[in-house]
Structure 1
Amino acid sequence: MTGIMSLLATAKINSLDPAKWLFDSLKKLPTWMNSRLDELLPLRNG
């Protein structure tokens, strides 16, 4: 739970809507390549 809260806080700090970022990331996750998971982090999307 702490990890998810940290990611949501990071999204907010980077001027992203945490709910939208989480929804978009979870939607992409099933087909996303493991080697590119870091691209889904909120620091990369800001």
Structure 2
Amino acid sequence: MMRLIVLFMIAGTALLAGCNTIAGAGEDVSKGGQAIHNTAEDAK
């Protein structure tokens, strides 16, 4: 039973860390797209 609890705790931690990483990557991509958009608007 203790092994099962530890396994669930490890899986939960990995899942939460993965969500934070993906959210951070999405924000970085969004900021990059905004910078490209602003540069294109300035070039008009």
Give the TM-score taking structure 1 as reference length. 0.33
Larger radius of gyration, structure 1 or 2? Answer: 2
Higher RCO (Cα < 8 Å, 6 or more apart): 1
Give the TM-score taking structure 2 as reference length. 0.34
